[in-house]
Amino acid sequence: MRTQETTGMFLYHPGNGHLDKLNFTELFAYSESHEDVAVVWDSKTFPLWDIEYLKSQIQKYKLSRIIIAGYDTGMVKPIFARVFSNLQLNVENILLEDFKEHGILESGNTELGKALLSCAIYNVALEDILPDEEKKVCTETLIIGAGIAGIQAALEIANANHKVHLIERTGTIGGHMAMFDKTFPTLDCAACILTPKMVEIGQHPSINLLTYSEVQSVTGTPGNFKVKVLQKARRVSLSKCIGCGSCAEKCPGKARSEFDVGTTFRKAIYIPFPQAVPNKYLIDAEACRYVQGKKCGVCVKNCPVPGCIDLDEKDSEIELCVGNIIIATGFKTFEATKLANYGYGSFPNVLTSLEFERLTNAAGPTEGKITFRTQNKKGDWIFSPQSDSPERVGIIHCVGSRDINHNQYCSRVCCMYSLKLAHLVKEKIPDAEVYEYYIDMRSFGKGYEAFYERIKSEGVHLLRGKPAEVRMDENNLIIRSEDIDGRRLLEQKVDMVILSVGLEPAAGSAEIAKLCGVTTDSDGWMDEANYVTSPVNTFAEGVLIAGLCQGPKDIPDTVAQASAAASEVLQHIVRTSMRKNIPELPLAEIRTRAKNLSLKMEDRK
Amino acid sequence: MSQRINPELKKELLKFGAKDWNDCYHCGNCTATCQLTEREILFPRKAIRQAQMGLTESLASNADPWLCYYCGDCSDTCPRDANPGEIMMTLRRYLTSVYDWTGFSGMLYKSAKAHIVVMLVLFLSVVAAFLIFGGPMITELTSDGGVRLNTFAPAEIIAGIDHIVLLTLSFFLLTNMINMYYKVVLKDKTVHIPWYLYFTEIGEALLNFGTQLRFSKCNKSRMYWFGHWFLMIGYVTMFVLIIFFLSWFQTDNINVWYHPQRLIGYIITAGFLFGTIFFMIGRIRKKKQIFKHSHHSDWIFVVLLFLVAFSGILIHIFRINGLPFATYYTYVAHLAFEIPMVVTFVAFSKWSHLAYRPLAIYFSNMKKKTRELQLKSKLSVSY
């Protein structure tokens, strides 16, 4: 603002209820009492449609600047612009001040609204007049969860030469993406694009990788968090293990492999999967005979490195000091047994999509051969490469999603991954008939619709209609559904059913959110500060979210959000300070600061 | 087939008790869940679609809602909580008013007040009729200690009134049934039913009328089917007795307990009481899907039916125990409950499904057979 300018204020409230929380009479009185405002008009009483009147008023007060404050202020700007250009005034002097900013609308904070008006009058940004807090931000960052989101964010920050502590609950990083066979819509091999990043994490000098660890507590203030981390006992030394595998060869303990979603068995001393990072063995305490109190120790005898395996190792606790926290805890899939009518858990060849993902993976239990789940000699149901392949496969969408009885939201990825699975079946068993049952086909992204068209052209039967039940006769599974486009009731006989299960917040994510002071919505997804304009910030300063913990999304979006979170962290680090909370300054203080800053800026010109 | 869309249908159906039905996103779960769905008969989704789109003509010629017995499976599993079962129930009410050419049915269904007022008027006129035309109230008992009810209300006269009521109501119900036939069969130009199917398909409709076998197919809990069937069979038997054998049924002499007149009466009353109490408890507890939403016609119906049965029992007890005045008063009350119920429900409201449901089964079976024949003839031409 230049000192010779005369400013008018137009308070615009469109009457759609958005501004109801604000006390407009107070705002009006405040602006009127302001020494640098010539006149204040209220849109409720001001006849805005009367252009001539507006003109005469502007001339009367000799206005050269006007501030339109309120909601959707852009709506009325053209009217003022017309009059301004008519009067040969500078149109650039029409300023818009929206109460959407700083969350004023949500909080209904009239005081903050006044501060915003003050700053508008002096044409300075509210952020610019706030003092930087003295406390320095710790440059180290904690990332909780090492799936693709955590990996991406860690690499972005670490590549900027800042220290990252990456915490992972399981024995390896990689998360769900490492389990997938292909990614849609490009059909890239998931492992091929993920493992280079995983290796980079493992070797990066700025990344402190803490696998098999959990966050215990978070204390301190934004910029200086103290985090206690529980390191569960791996019982195999990370530095000494050479990953030779002699220990696992003779190990008598057996458990279902988490990485293969329980479709195969692994030993009690195991490596989660061949490309695991860190590529070191660890011991599953529950399956280990020695830990469970029986006589064993075969692994220690077989290990070629002395002192590598310590069966009596105890859990340990470490404390970290970090400036920012990124939560990337990811998801778990919907528990398909909740839908008894689809027979998951009672019919062996009703699989979840994740199980099928492992089955069709070249590194999976059958080396990529799609086979039936059969009983082995001991009576356990597993996939084995010796079994037959199905000829008819049904894929049921929206299992647990878009259903008021389970999860009401759309899990967003199921349509696309189901199409991908249909393609994989067709690719591996060209003569197979694939029946996809969908409610609506949501192919929403770049290249997704083309992918959908491609799958259609591959001869997959796409049937609109949510199946009501899957039942079994002697040899077949029967899917009963309404074929809506075919106007008939359909009882389709198939050999294998894949349930496209929806996504839910990961187990334990609620506790993590609570520890970090992040709120969650009714479905358990973590709340972002603003869904549209700040999707990685949370209401807890210094705590950011990335990936599935915020809500269902696909891999490209997850990676994008992880990068965004990393950029936010880097901002905090570069500024080396955290912003002081806006409402803490008194209003008069804001006003003088704004005026001084404006004068300073004028001098500069 | 072109037809006019009625944008007001939504408002209209709301008055018949529909709820949340715009939530339906047509996933087809209800159709696939329903055990009564057949290849050709896709309900409830098809009817919901027609209702949502305002296709009044298609709805009027769609008899599918009558095939539904409201087991509630579709509403239980509906992913949108759109209550397909309740929509079918609403459509049955709506269709009753569509078939009824007098418009009386729509009035009773849409307004609880109108229904109650009509019933009150009928109730009071019955009482008034007894005050004016009723026979002498004799306190003297019969030789075996019973009340001389037939002097107060001679069975022949009551039977005569019954016949008049019956004839009038039958006229309305029959014309409504013909209207239904016209709307469902004649107006549907896609099928041309060969004449012999009218005879071959009548058996299953009658069988279903007597046994409600289709109903027993649809719900795992047989209790509801039994309650429904018992009530229906009790009512029909009672109807036949009152209309054609009233002088045998309403006697002054007290028969031994195993006499068929008393036994039949007991069984019928048991059916009434069991059915009505079962439904009333269900509607109060609202645990099962079918009982969750109660329209005023449901409540009035079940309560009146209970009162009729209950007052019937009281008459019997008072009469054989020689309590003359109690007998006479309860008799008046009994008729004053019964006449409004019969008049408002038989032809114009809930009870008319007794006629429409078997008819719908009859019609849709005929249509189904005709379509099969048409398909066969088409195939034979092409080969």
Looking at the structure, tell me whether residues A280 and A378 fall in a common domain: no
Which of A489, A490, A491 should one mutate to test binding to chain B, selecting the residue with the greatest count of B CBs within 10 A? Answer: A489
Query: For residue B213, what are the domain limits?
Result: 104-366
Looking at the structure, tell me whether residues A342 and A483 fall in a common domain: yes
Phi-psi region of A504 (alpha: psi -120 to 50; beta: other; left: phi over 0): beta
The CATH number of the domain holding residue A491 is 3.50.50.60
- A517, burial (CB in 10 Å: exposed 0-12, middle 13-18, buried 19+): middle
Q: Which residue in A405, A481, A487 is closest to B32 by CB distance?
A: A481
Q: Do A488 and B39 touch (CB under 8 A)?
A: yes
Amino acid, single-letter form, for residue A55 = K
In degrees and rounded to multiples of 5, residue A278 shows phi and psi of -70, 145
Query: What is the number of CB-based contacts under 8 A between chain A and chain B?
Result: 56
Q: Do A482 and B28 touch (CB under 8 A)?
A: yes
Looking at the structure, tell me whether residues A345 and A473 fall in a common domain: yes
Return the half-sphere exposure (C-beta side, CA atoms, 13 A cut-off) of residue A256. 10
Looking at the structure, tell me whether residues A66 and A100 fall in a common domain: yes
Q: What is the pLDDT of residue A400?
A: 93
Q: How far apart are CA B149 and CA B335, in angstroms?
A: 13
Residues of chain B falling short of pLDDT 70: 1, 219-221, 380-383
Q: Do B32 and A403 touch (CB under 8 A)?
A: no
Tell me: pLDDT of A6 over 90. no
Averaged pLDDT for residues A51-74: 89
Looking at the structure, tell me whether residues B64 and B152 fall in a common domain: no
**Residue A564 counted as domain residue:** yes
Report chain A residues whose CB lies below 8 A from the CB of B79.
398, 402-405, 466
- B5, burial (CB in 10 Å: exposed 0-12, middle 13-18, buried 19+): exposed
In degrees and rounded to multiples of 5, residue A469 shows phi and psi of -155, 155
CA distance B127 to chain A (A): 52
Domain count, chain A: 4
Residues of B with CB under 8 A from a CB of A: 25-29, 31-33, 37-39, 42, 45, 77-81
Band (pLDDT 50/70/90 cuts) for residue A436 is very high
Looking at the structure, tell me whether residues A260 and A272 fall in a common domain: yes
Looking at the structure, tell me whether residues B170 and B80 fall in a common domain: no
Higher pLDDT, A434 or B144: A434
- Residues A530/A532/A536/A539 CA torsion (nearest 10 deg): 0
Tell me: pLDDT of A42 over 80. yes
**Residue B3 counted as domain residue:** no
Looking at the structure, tell me whether residues B230 and B306 fall in a common domain: yes
Looking at the structure, tell me whether residues A50 and A114 fall in a common domain: yes
Looking at the structure, tell me whether residues B25 and B147 fall in a common domain: no
Looking at the structure, tell me whether residues A18 and A95 fall in a common domain: yes
**Residue B377 counted as domain residue:** no
Q: Which residue of A has its CA nearest to B79?
A: A403
Looking at the structure, tell me whether residues B179 and B223 fall in a common domain: yes
- End position of a domain, from candidates A441, A471, A504: A504
CA distance A489 to chain B (A): 5
Looking at the structure, tell me whether residues A360 and A442 fall in a common domain: yes
Q: What is the pLDDT of residue A133?
A: 55
Q: How far apart are CA B195 and CA B138, in angstroms?
A: 59
Q: What is the pLDDT of residue B380?
A: 67
- Residues A407, A434: contact at Cβ < 8 Å? no
Report chain B residues whose CB lies below 8 A from the CB of A466.
27-29, 32, 79
Q: Do B77 and A468 touch (CB under 8 A)?
A: yes
**Residue A240 counted as domain residue:** no
Domain count, chain B: 2
Q: Do A404 and B78 touch (CB under 8 A)?
A: yes
Closest CA to B255 of B265, B269, B245: B265
Q: Which residue in B28, B38, B39 is closest to A465 by CB distance?
A: B28
Report the 10 Å Cβ neighbour count for A24.
17
Q: Do A489 and B38 touch (CB under 8 A)?
A: yes
pLDDT by residue (tens digit) across A48-57?
Answer: 888 899 999 9
Looking at the structure, tell me whether residues A369 and A493 fall in a common domain: yes
Structure token digits, residue A67: 């501030």
CA distance B70 to chain A (A): 17
- Residues A310, A235: contact at Cβ < 8 Å? yes
Q: Do A482 and B42 touch (CB under 8 A)?
A: yes
Tell me: pLDDT of A509 over 90. yes
pLDDT by residue (tens digit) across A250-282?
Answer: 999 999 999 999 998 999 999 999 999 999 999
Report chain A residues whose CB lies below 8 A from the CB of B368.
none
CA distance A340 to chain B (A): 11
Q: To the nearest whole number, what is the mean pLDDT of chain A? A: 90
CA distance A412 to chain B (A): 17
- Residues A210, A231: contact at Cβ < 8 Å? yes
User: What residues contact A598, with CB distance under 8 A and at least 6 apart?
Assistant: A1, A122, A123, A124
Looking at the structure, tell me whether residues B308 and B193 fall in a common domain: yes
Looking at the structure, tell me whether residues B38 and B60 fall in a common domain: yes
Looking at the structure, tell me whether residues B142 and B261 fall in a common domain: yes
Q: What is the pLDDT of residue B220?
A: 62
CA distance B25 to chain A (A): 8
Looking at the structure, tell me whether residues A322 and A204 fall in a common domain: yes
Structure token digits, residue B224: 């509801």
Looking at the structure, tell me whether residues B91 and B201 fall in a common domain: no
- Residues B87/B89/B91/B93 CA torsion (nearest 10 deg): -140
**Residue A482 counted as domain residue:** yes
Query: For residue A441, what are the domain limits?
Result: 333-504
- End position of a domain, from candidates B69, B99, B129: B99
Q: Do B79 and A403 touch (CB under 8 A)?
A: yes
Q: Which residue in B25, B32, B78 is closest to A482 by CB distance?
A: B32
The CATH number of the domain holding residue B90 is 1.10.1060.10
Report chain A residues whose CB lies below 8 A from the CB of B45.
482, 484
Looking at the structure, tell me whether residues A459 and A535 fall in a common domain: no
- End position of a domain, from candidates B83, B99, B115: B99
- End position of a domain, from candidates B49, B66, B99: B99
- End position of a domain, from candidates A473, A504, A535: A504
Band (pLDDT 50/70/90 cuts) for residue A449 is very high
Report the 10 Å Cβ neighbour count for A605.
5
Q: Do B32 and A402 touch (CB under 8 A)?
A: no
Q: Do A484 and B78 touch (CB under 8 A)?
A: no
**Residue A1 counted as domain residue:** no
Q: How far apart are CA A328 and CA A144, in angstroms?
A: 6
DSSP string, B17-80: T--SGGG-----HHHHH-TT--SS--TTHHHHHHHHHT-HHHHHT--HHHH-----HHHHH-TT
Q: Do A489 and B77 touch (CB under 8 A)?
A: no
Q: How far apart are CA A33 and CA A44, in angstroms?
A: 19
CA distance A351 to chain B (A): 21
Residues of A with CB under 8 A from a CB of B: 341, 398, 402-405, 439-440, 464-469, 480-484, 487-489
**Residue B381 counted as domain residue:** no
Q: Do B32 and A468 touch (CB under 8 A)?
A: yes
Looking at the structure, tell me whether residues A495 and A511 fall in a common domain: no
pLDDT by residue (tens digit) across B361-379?
Answer: 999 989 888 888 888 887 7
Tell me what ipTM this predicted complex has: 0.85
Report chain B residues whose CB lies below 8 A from the CB of A469.
32-33
Report the 10 Å Cβ neighbour count for B262.
15
Q: Do A404 and B80 touch (CB under 8 A)?
A: yes
Structure token digits, residue A307: 């002192």
Looking at the structure, tell me whether residues B175 and B53 fall in a common domain: no
Report chain B residues whose CB lies below 8 A from the CB of A481.
28, 32
Looking at the structure, tell me whether residues B121 and B250 fall in a common domain: yes
Looking at the structure, tell me whether residues B108 and B77 fall in a common domain: no
